[in-house]
Amino acid sequence: MSEDLHHECGVVALYQLDEAVDDKPFNGREKVTENVAALVPGMLLDLQTRGQLAAGLTSYNPERDQLIDTFKDVGVVSEVFRMSRPEKYAAVIEEYAGKAAIGHTRYATAGGDDVRYAQPFERHHGRLWKWFSFAFNGTVSNYTELRDKLLSKQGYHFSLKTDTEIVMHALAHGLRGETKVDLKKVMKEIGGEFDGGYSMAYLDAAGRLFVARDPAGIRPMSWAVQGRLFAAASESVALTNIGFTEVNSLDPGQMAIVEKGRLRFERFAPSNTPARCFFEWVYFANVASEIDGAGVYRSRAATGHHLASIEDQTVDEDCIVVPVPDTAKAAADAFAYQLGIPCMEGIIRNRYVGRTFILSKDSRERTIRSKYTPLPSVLSGKRVFLVEDSIVRSTTMKILIQQIRKECGAREIHVRVACPPIVAPCFYGIDMSTVGELFAPNFVNGRYQGNPTPGALKKMATALKVDSLRYLPVKQLGPTIGVEADSLCLGCVTGKYPTKWGNKLMRRAKNNAKNGQDGRTYE
């Protein structure tokens, strides 16, 4: 994606069970001992695209005084765990050795480079079951309501500007009392109170672990078990890459619990209609992942096939297809194959450019220009079909188009987008929370039904300074992903959301935009 669009994290969990669940011992690519924490950094590397700002782990070890202990810092996974320095990395893994562990890699919508916002969050307590740590991915949409509700009570104070602190208070409240509380009961309370999309991993000093997926299934959560090893992660690739061969998805509203060394599954909330985030397939997920049985690579390739099937430009020998690196490549390859046009790497991505979303506004445009290098030798004089996975804000796309046309001499530029127009914010964990920052709403009216009119597309193309622009129709999202359309969250491409607070925040965002504000609903 040419945009600086970010997710809100990835989570992993591991537990070496007391007894094997089957007669197939785990024969992963790394030797597994009682120290499952050794597997966490590698799994988090597979989820690095979901967050690059901070990382950490919490482990459980009944043989040490710190029954659960947390290590975290600001930086990418390899920096945090000192992976480039073997002796430092080995020291971290040894110090935080344990039979159970959870891990987290973070992107921030609040907190920036403040290590206090890094996860997992640990809460100390004298009672074993009240001393816990957790890792959270997603957004609690009714965060402000829950925060105000707690602040109205005497003696409450919040030190961080994040919904994760609300989650910590909710978990602590669910664990109240003089006797150990059942974890299903705790999550049932949370599931009834939280509106939004989330997944989480939890570990306490009593040696209990759980992973859970929100009742709508907006955020993904995969799991696997083989021999004595149980593992879970935001994406399947983190499990297959350590050696699991059979990977499953938690159902919406379901949790996997390990207690007394045994694994069980519970439903903590009903799920009448799943609403899985289609953007996971379009952009966020690793191309090697599967989500709810639907492969990410196959889905992206299918979008390219469909865009080719509705192409109306005449194809000649001067045509080339160029993907915007990297997530548009599968769609571009399929688009080119279907039309019989060469697919060429006319744009090279500089993988060593810093994270532009944490740079100052003044330096961001300069950094964007260094992020991609268009190749005049490939683009000059060509009719370029530029394939992108999505257009959100369009800022980077406009700069890229200018480079391709003016600096590289492309004769024509036809942009093809493997996603419908983004016409509304996301309130479930993707960093696009205002109406005013989006490109497409400026060109579609209130009667928009998911496919821009020819007139709207022409105006969009003019604004981008390209010769033509086409999007994947909304109605094709289900077929290209390979799931039923009514099982997807389509809020950002239709303005209609699967939860009460999603729709409420959209109404608020529209009113803010009409009143000349930026449409922001919450920090």
Q: How many CB atoms lie within 10 A of CB 82?
A: 18
Question: Taking the model in full, what pTM does it have?
Answer: 0.90
Q: Which residue has the tokens 């509380």?
A: 181
Q: Is the pLDDT of residue 445 over 90?
A: no
What does the DSSP assignment read for 183-247? Answer: HHHHHHHHHHH--EEEEEEEEETTS-EEEEE-TT--S--EEEEETTEEEEESSTHHHHTTT-S--
pLDDT at 150: 84
| Run of H or E residues at 374 | strand 372-374
Q: Burial of 96 by CB count in 10 Å (0-12 exposed, 13-18 middle, 19+ buried)?
A: buried
pLDDT at 32: 65
List phi, psi (to 5°) of 193.
-100, -35
pLDDT in tens, 48-65: 888 888 999 999 999 999
Q: Is the pLDDT of residue 3 over 70?
A: no
Place 355 in a pLDDT band, splitting at 50, 70 and 90. very low
- Give me the mean pLDDT over the 260-270 stretch: 95
The whole-angstrom separation of Cα 68 and Cα 58 is 7
The whole-angstrom separation of Cα 175 and Cα 216 is 24
List phi, psi (to 5°) of 45.
-60, -35
pLDDT at 30: 59
pLDDT at 66: 96
List phi, psi (to 5°) of 461.
-60, -40
Residue 363 identity:
S
Better pLDDT: 32 or 189? 189
pLDDT at 403: 94
- Residue 181 per-residue DSSP state: P
Selection from 248, 323, 451 nearest residue 1 by Cα: 323
Q: Is the pLDDT of residue 109 over 60?
A: no
Q: What's the residue count for the chain? A: 523
Selection from 491, 297, 300 nearest residue 389 by Cα: 300
Identify the bridge partners of residue 323 per DSSP, sorted by sequence position: 387
Both tokens of residue 86? 């073997």
Both tokens of residue 167? 């989650």
pLDDT at 516: 64
Q: For the sheet containing 254-259, what is the strand order?
A: 121-123, 132-140, 196-204, 209-213, 254-259, 262-267
Selection from 469, 468, 487 nearest residue 479 by Cα: 487
Both tokens of residue 259? 């207690």
Residue 360 identity:
S
Structural contact between residues 470 and 479, judged by C-beta atoms closer than 8 angstroms = no
Both tokens of residue 178? 């003089």
- Give me the mean pLDDT over the 440-465 stretch: 88
pLDDT at 448: 73
pLDDT in tens, 460-486: 999 999 999 999 999 999 999 999 989
Q: Burial of 437 by CB count in 10 Å (0-12 exposed, 13-18 middle, 19+ buried)?
A: middle
3-state SS, residue 357? helix
- Residue 508 per-residue DSSP state: H
Pick the catalytic residue from 9, 408, 489, 492: 9
pLDDT at 389: 94
The whole-angstrom separation of Cα 317 and Cα 205 is 66
* Domains detected in the chain: 10-272 (3.60.20.10), 301-514 (3.40.50.2020)
Identify the bridge partners of residue 384 per DSSP, sorted by sequence position: 320, 413
Residues 6+ apart with CB under 8 A from 116: 159, 160
Q: Is the pLDDT of residue 213 over 90?
A: yes
Q: Which residue has the tokens 């129709």?
A: 473
Better pLDDT: 111 or 253? 253
The whole-angstrom separation of Cα 189 and Cα 464 is 48
Q: How many CB atoms lie within 10 A of CB 457?
A: 17
pLDDT in tens, 388-417: 999 988 988 999 999 999 999 999 999 999
Q: Is the pLDDT of residue 493 over 80?
A: yes
Q: Could you give the C-alpha distances from 66 to 17, 180, 255, in angstroms and in order?
A: 20, 20, 26
Place 365 in a pLDDT band, splitting at 50, 70 and 90. low
Q: Does 9 participate in catalysis according to the annotation?
A: yes
Based on its alpha-carbon atoms, the radius of gyration of the chain, rounded to whole angstroms, reads 23
The whole-angstrom separation of Cα 3 and Cα 430 is 13
3-state SS, residue 362? helix
